[in-house]
A and B are shown apart, each in its own frame.
Chain A
Amino acid sequence: MDDITVNTSPVFAPMGDSALMVVAGNNISVEVNQKVHNMISIIKGQNWPGIKEIVPTYSSFVIHFDPLIFSFDGLTECVADLWDCNEVSEDTNTKTVLIPTLYGSNYGLDLESVSELTNLSVEEVIGIHSETEYLVYALGFSPGFPYLGDLDPRIHCPRLETPRISVPKGSVAIADSQTGVYPVSSPGGWRLIGQTPVTMFDPNRPHPSIVNPGDYIRFVPISSESEYEEIFEMSSNGSYEVQVQ
């Protein structure tokens, strides 16, 4: 299971008669995940009939299809034929989204404990967390929750022993080698180190999520509560535009 390479040919796992799981590798790595995103964009570019949607996760993706239009055997054959194709179509230009974040105090209740667990100062934890561009491996858990990696090993911390019943919307959190943002208030066991005033997910927007799978996120520290409030106000009324690189 320590093999960190991408599968040289796709591994197909049927999920009933209308969904096909395609496995690109057997670990969580940027390399395998990028293969997932590349293959999805190549497949989407084929405009095959009967394909309903394709859902990426860490190391595999699921093709939902209509078996009365596209047969299971035909689909596996077509995907296998494209596996070595490494061209990435133009519309997959992934972006880096800058997420303003206020770290610590009431906005990141566990920042102190992270500092203690890692033997780093609070400033060092913030510096390390905000200097990395994180890959959006996938979105899941709840609508718009991005699974981000990889976190610098210097700030790896275990999950909380007792998950919180309610984590505030916009909380920026870490757990083991992962970091993420809670798009809506929900229960959660990750350690909260900050909070973004930006509405990450809004079901009523034409593009509900600020980030798509395969994009990158970088957290940009906010210096004051007043700046936080200002961005929060603008994001709530729809006038805030996230910075993209």
Chain B
Amino acid sequence: MIEILKAGTLTTIQDAGRSGYQELGVPETGALDKFSFRCANLLTGNHENTPAMEAVLFGPEIKFSDDSFIAITGGDLSPTIDGTEVNLWETLPVSAGSILSFSGPTGNGIRSYVSISGGFFGDKTRSVMGSYSTYLPGEFGGYGGRALKDGDVLHIGMAEENFAGELVLENPPTFGDDETLRIILGPQDGMFVPAAIQTLTSSSYEVTPNSDRMGCRLDGPMLEHLDGPDVISDGTAFGVIQVPGDGKPIILLSDRGTTGGYTKIATVISADRSKLAQLIPGGNINFEVVSQEKAVNLLRDQEKLLSSLSVDVGVPLNIKVNGVPVDVVDDEDQPAMGINVKHVTYKAVVSDGHKDHQIELEISE
């Protein structure tokens, strides 16, 4: 159990996000900086999709009631444990009564991820549409569908028993206020005047303060459309750069609408997702066009970096019944994030479309 003494600017429970519900208009949601989120989990012996905290700008103050391991990754918001500065990107032991706090951003990113061995579970309930991620506008997921508040108490999932607790990520990413984001042109670069591509790739754009989990809004030279900004509403993706009528680009993020009616000039590559999520309001960015091949190679390199941290944490649980994800709990009603073979049976609730049935899952070696 942990207690939130102070909630900070905007602290939410997030995991890797919702998959498979965009066709119902449900945003992807989830950790904006997925690399840092996954890394935090691996550093605490968790499966990489275990719910963690995403803290923005001024982080929370948290009191632990048990000995455990935590990790802090992503942007550097100056974390301390019991008043002593601690490193990001490594496993940190905490004791019962320890207090983690943050004194504020240092210019190296704006979003920190805090994981704990076993994972943070908002209110011990079932996940919503296959994810524990908080979706603030829809008021669902995470801790009762909202950001954490002072005084909230969070439950900790079951920790991996054999976790050694001494991991460090070598050569972690750093984030600044003058970044280059690599892009692939499209899907609708042909709907802009040819000079617009030149403008996009040769100008500096400023990150505005009204950026949020939905989108990163930029200020800079206008990107001119050939024949107006509107398209028949179509799909979106993380990192796609849409350009409304005012010609100012908006880079769409995790909580973006699943459909959009503005032309989209280019898309930030997956390997630069962390940089994009950590952009500091007031900072500058430039864009550089790369090929599909290069984008995939960069992503592969990033995955290699993460796999250096991977330890065997059992089989990740991703069980679906007729395509619908179901939540599985162990015999203590704790969400099971990975199958521990020492447990013989797990429980899950499945629905036949009319009512819920509790079933038992037996796992054999």
- A194: which B residues are within 8 A, CB to CB? none
What's the minimum C-beta distance from A39 to chain B, rounded to whole angstroms? 13
Partner pick for A71 among B188, B240, B259, B296, CB 8 A cutoff: B296
Contact B292 A72 (CB under 8 A): yes
Contact of B303 among A68, A138, A204, A213 (CB under 8 A): A68
Q: Which of A59, A144, A212 contacts B234 (CB 8 A)?
A: A59
Interface size range of chain B in the complex = 35 or more
Interface residues of A in 1-41 (CB under 8 A from B): 13-19, 21, 26-28
Q: Does A163 contact B (CB under 8 A)?
A: no
Q: Given contacts A17-B184, A55-B258, A212-B24, is CB(A60)–CB(B299) below 8 Å?
A: no
B270 within 8 A of A: yes
Pick from B25, B232, B238, B264: contact of A144, CB below 8 A: B25
Q: Does B214 contact A (CB under 8 A)?
A: no
A18 to B259, Cβ gap below 8 A?
Answer: no
A61 in contact with B25 given A17-B270, A141-B257, A207-B324 (CB within 8 Å): no
In the complex, chain B residues 284-324 whose Cβ is within 8 Å of any chain A Cβ: 292, 295-296, 299-300, 303, 324
Question: Is there contact, CB below 8 Å, between A140 and B270?
Answer: no
Say whether, besides A16-B268, A206-B324, A241 and B354 are in contact (CB < 8 Å).
yes
Q: A16-B237, A57-B233 are in contact. Are A143 and B26 (CB under 8 A)?
A: yes
**A45 near B: Cβ within 8 Å?**
no
Q: Does B187 contact A (CB under 8 A)?
A: yes
- The reply to whether A17 and B140 contact each other, CB–CB distance below 8 Å, is no
Indicate whether B351 reaches chain A with its CB closer than 8 angstroms: yes
Contact among A17, A21, A53, A147 for B292, CB-based, below 8 A: A17
Check if A58 sits within 8 Å of B23, measured CB to CB. no
User: Could you say which residues of chain A place their CB within 8 Å of the CB of B351?
Assistant: 205-207
B40 CB, nearest partner CB in chain A, Å:
21
Bound Cα distance from A159 to B354, whole angstroms: 37
Q: Are A209 and B270 CB-contacts (below 8 A) given A14-B187, A61-B235?
A: no
Q: Is the CB of A67 within 8 A of B299?
A: yes
For chain A, residues 199 to 232, give those with C-beta under 8 angstroms from any C-beta of chain B.
201, 203-209, 212-213
Are B300 and A68 in touch, CB under 8 angstroms?
Answer: yes
Contact among B138, B235, B295 for A21, CB-based, below 8 A: B235
What distance in Å separates the Cβ of A76 from its nearest Cβ neighbour in chain B? 10
**Could you say which of A19, A27, A139, A205 contacts B237, with CB atoms under 8 Å apart?**
A19
Q: Total interface residues on A, using CB and 8 Å?
A: 49
Q: Does A154 sit at the interface, judged by CB under 8 A?
A: no
Residues of chain B contacted by A140 (CB below 8 angstroms): 25, 233, 257-259
A64 to B26, CA, bound (A): 15
| Bound-state Cα–Cα, A142 to B236, Å | 14
State which of A53, A147, A207 has its C-beta within 8 Å of the C-beta of B22: A53
Q: Which residues of B have CB within 8 Å of A134?
A: none
Pick the contact of A67 from B20, B126, B141, B270 — CB < 8 Å?
B270
The distance in angstroms between the C-alpha atoms of A140 and B259, with both chains bound, is 6
B24 adjacent to A14 (CB under 8 Å) = no
Q: Does A157 contact B (CB under 8 A)?
A: no
**In the complex with contacts A28-B232, A58-B233, A16-B295 CB distance below 8 A:** yes
Are B240 and A15 touching (Cβ within 8 A)? Answer: yes
Tell me the bound Cα distance from A206 to B348 in angstroms.
13
Q: Is A197 an interface residue (CB 8 A)?
A: no
> Does A56 belong to the interface (CB within 8 Å)?
yes
Contact A204 B128, CB 8 Å, known A14-B187, A17-B299 = yes
CB-CB contacts of A154-185 with B at 8 A, as 1s and 0s? 00000000000000000000000000000010
B98 within 8 A of A: no
Q: Tell yes or no: A62 within 8 A of B by CB.
A: yes
Q: Which of A18, A52, A68, A142 contacts B25 (CB 8 A)?
A: A142
Contacts A16-B295, A55-B22, A67-B299; A138 near B186 (Cβ below 8 A)? no
Q: Does B239 contact A (CB under 8 A)?
A: yes
Q: A208 and B292: CB pair below 8 A? A: no
- Collect the chain B residues with CB atoms within 8 Å of residue A16's CB: 183-184, 237-240, 267-270, 295
From A18, A71, A206, A207, contact of B270 by CB (8 A): A18
Apart from the given pairs A56-B235, A62-B235, 20 other A-B contacts in the complex at a CB distance below 8 Å: A14-B185, A17-B267, A17-B299, A21-B186, A28-B232, A53-B22, A57-B234, A57-B235, A62-B236, A64-B22, A68-B296, A72-B292, A138-B23, A139-B258, A142-B138, A144-B25, A204-B128, A205-B351, A206-B356, A212-B23
Contact surface of A with B, Cβ cutoff 8 Å: 13-19, 21, 26-28, 52-62, 64, 67-68, 71-73, 138-145, 147, 184, 201, 203-209, 212-213, 241
A-B contact pairs, 9 of them (CB 8 A): A14-B185, A14-B267, A15-B264, A16-B295, A17-B270, A55-B23, A68-B299, A140-B259, A144-B25
